[in-house]
Amino acid sequence: MAKSIFHTSENQNTYLYDIRSRLSMLVHPDLKIAAEETGEVDSYYRGKYGYLKNCGFFKEGESVKFGEITESMIRDSLIHTPQITFETTDFCNLNCTYCSFGELYEGFDERNHKNIDIDFAKKLLRFVFNNRPESKKQKLLIGFYGGEPLFNGKFILQIVDFVDQLKKEKYIEVEYNITTNALLLHKYMDFFVKNRFRILISLDGNRKNHSYRSVRKDGNNSFDRVIENVDRMQYLYPVYFEKYVRFNAVLHDRNSVKEIQEFVYERYHKVSRIAPLVMVDLNKKNEVVAQKMYRNKLESEIDFQKEESELLPTVHEEFSVFKELIDFLKYYSLNYYVSNITSLLYETEKILPTSTCLPGQKKILLTTHGKLLPCERVNYKYTIGEIREDVVLNIPEITVRYKHYYHHVQKICQHCFLNRFCNNCMLQLKMLDQVDKKDFVCEHFCNDKGLMYKLYRVLSFLEKYPLDFFKIVENHVIL
């Protein structure tokens, strides 16, 4: 694997990227010619090429030394989890065509109007409170997810009450969040404001854009009811709305990045998060339907950028390339150390393959069936524990399982040009079940051309928005 790669930008500037040192460097095009011996160049650049070569550039890269996962890493990560999310109910009052618990997908527990067990939730909370030190600085985040969590609003009220009691025994700063379709928002508005809930509202854009989100009872588009509730909240609590309410849209064939952002910004003065349809764990029978509904986010963003919309500078931070720029500056530029001061202590970095969180590192999700999962985005088969009489976490078993995945996946990672900068979760790989088989393929595998194209995109974007460099390095904390 080569250590240093030349690449260009859309504006025909030339750059050199050195993988080993994470150094990206603007260069004269003659340096590339000198390195590749493709023509006559000023002797200065032949000298510069020789100098850089002597300093360790352009050599074949050594293989990456991957670290090992241990039981104590998993134990620490689980008992000090910063967030608990409750799958409050598996029922939803909407019947969205693309719902990840609907006909398009498989690999989730059966949905049968099941609400979460309040006693299980209390046991998990007590477990987390017992293991956390008292702190006003380190917040514990408590999230509510569904189905539609407000369909079991009573549970949410009980949990907030229970947490208030726990806080009397040991003070821990708690912050609540909820993801909702807003159909029942009017019933809980005051409660949310009082308890400073951070609310993420699912809204796919205008009425036409939103039409996959139909009400379960009558099959009608939920758009009007959602908008009525959200408008009301904005009217009644404008200051709260400004700070605590955000939007999330699913991108599909009935909307576009442009339409979503224009609608949400014009109406609520906010930039929406946009997620493409998830294309893993698809039900074979409905794969064609899913393919038809799928819209590529990057392509939709490029279409939007072609238009000279005044909204572009406002929403550009939601673009995929901006996220790529974050990854570039945070993981594979020199400024990596700003977010990883512990790496400064060691000669050789030892990283784990992929960027899979350790169980509990970001959150623990408790399902309506009492299972514990690393988050809501992974298949239910990746359970990390359950609640019975007590919180059951089989740490040796989890460690063996993760070691098995890492052991096999790293054979592929070893040859990937993004192996030290991967931002993919292993548990979302399509073929993880076959990780120990010869024909295992990682769909995110990146060769030298892939890295060059990625660097081309990122540097072109940065040339367009140079202030993003500081915005990201100084302010954008990777979570």
Show Cβ contacts of residue 438 under 8 Å, excluding neighbours closer than 6 positions.
Answer: none
Selected from 2, 26, 275, 441, the binder of other proteins by CB under 8 A is: 26
Please tell me whether residue 12 adopts helix, strand or coil conformation.
coil
Alpha-carbon distances of 240 from 245, 273, 384, rounded to whole Å: 8, 19, 36
CB atoms within 10 A of CB 312: 14
DSSP string, 258-318: HHHHHHHHHHHS-PPEEEEPP-SSB-GGGHHHHHHH---HHHHHHHHHHS--TTHHHHGGG
Residues 314-333 that bind other proteins (CB under 8 A): 329, 333
Show Cβ contacts of residue 98 under 8 Å, excluding neighbours closer than 6 positions.
Answer: 104, 212, 250, 252, 277, 290, 293
R_g (Cα) of the chain, nearest Å: 24
When the beta carbons of 32 and 444 are compared against other proteins, the nearer one is 32
Is residue 377 involved in binding other proteins (CB under 8 A)?
Answer: no
When the beta carbons of 50 and 208 are compared against other proteins, the nearer one is 50
Is residue 48 involved in binding other proteins (CB under 8 A)?
Answer: yes
Site string for other proteins, 458-477 (x = CB under 8 A): -x--xx--xx-xx--xx--x
Rounded to the nearest 5 percent, the helix, strand and coil shares of the chain are: 45, 15, 40
CB atoms within 10 A of CB 363: 19
Is residue 478 involved in binding other proteins (CB under 8 A)?
Answer: yes
* Choices 23-31, 151-159, 220-228, 249-257; region in contact with other proteins by CB under 8 A: 23-31
Is residue 348 involved in binding other proteins (CB under 8 A)?
Answer: no
Is residue 335 involved in binding other proteins (CB under 8 A)?
Answer: yes
Is residue 355 involved in binding other proteins (CB under 8 A)?
Answer: no
| Residues β-bridged to residue 16 | 6, 25
Is residue 305 involved in binding other proteins (CB under 8 A)?
Answer: no
Selected from 51, 171, 191, 453, the binder of other proteins by CB under 8 A is: 51
> Which segments of 359-437 does DSSP mark as H helices, in order?
395-413
* Choices 24-32, 122-130, 146-154, 223-231; region in contact with other proteins by CB under 8 A: 24-32
How far, in whole angstroms, is CA 27 from its chain's centroid? 34
Residues 66-85 that bind other proteins (CB under 8 A): 70, 72-73, 76-77, 80, 82
When the beta carbons of 43 and 112 are compared against other proteins, the nearer one is 43
Is residue 172 involved in binding other proteins (CB under 8 A)?
Answer: no
Is residue 386 involved in binding other proteins (CB under 8 A)?
Answer: no
Is residue 403 involved in binding other proteins (CB under 8 A)?
Answer: no
When the beta carbons of 306 and 438 are compared against other proteins, the nearer one is 306
Selected from 239, 344, 348, 438, the binder of other proteins by CB under 8 A is: 344
When the beta carbons of 26 and 236 are compared against other proteins, the nearer one is 26
Type of residue found at 22: R
Is residue 13 involved in binding other proteins (CB under 8 A)?
Answer: yes
Structure tokens at 410: 């790293």
Selected from 339, 383, 410, 423, the binder of other proteins by CB under 8 A is: 339
Phi-psi region of 58 (alpha: psi -120 to 50; beta: other; left: phi over 0): left
| CA–CA separation, 147 and 204 (whole Å) | 17
For strand 198-202 and strand 273-276, is the pairing parallel, antiparallel, or unpaired? unpaired
| CA–CA separation, 294 and 280 (whole Å) | 12
Residues 108-167 that bind other proteins (CB under 8 A): 133, 135, 137-139, 141
User: Minimal CA–CA distance to 262: which of 253, 274, 252?
Assistant: 274
When the beta carbons of 412 and 422 are compared against other proteins, the nearer one is 422
Is residue 361 involved in binding other proteins (CB under 8 A)?
Answer: yes
When the beta carbons of 237 and 469 are compared against other proteins, the nearer one is 469
Shortest gap between Cβ of 463 and other proteins (angstroms)?
6
| CA–CA separation, 240 and 195 (whole Å) | 11
When the beta carbons of 166 and 329 are compared against other proteins, the nearer one is 329
Is residue 441 involved in binding other proteins (CB under 8 A)?
Answer: no
Shortest gap between Cβ of 14 and other proteins (angstroms)?
8
When the beta carbons of 29 and 107 are compared against other proteins, the nearer one is 29
Shortest gap between Cβ of 139 and other proteins (angstroms)?
7
Residue bearing tokens 């409050």: 88
Largest CA distance in the chain: 77
| CA–CA separation, 184 and 180 (whole Å) | 9
Is residue 452 involved in binding other proteins (CB under 8 A)?
Answer: no
Is residue 239 involved in binding other proteins (CB under 8 A)?
Answer: no
Please tell me whether residue 334 adopts helix, strand or coil conformation.
coil
Residues that bind other proteins (CB under 8 A): 9-15, 21, 23-29, 44, 48, 51-52, 55, 70, 72-73, 76-77, 80, 82, 133, 135, 137-139, 141, 329, 333-335, 337-342, 344-345, 357-358, 361-362, 459, 462-463, 466-467, 469-470, 473-474, 477-479
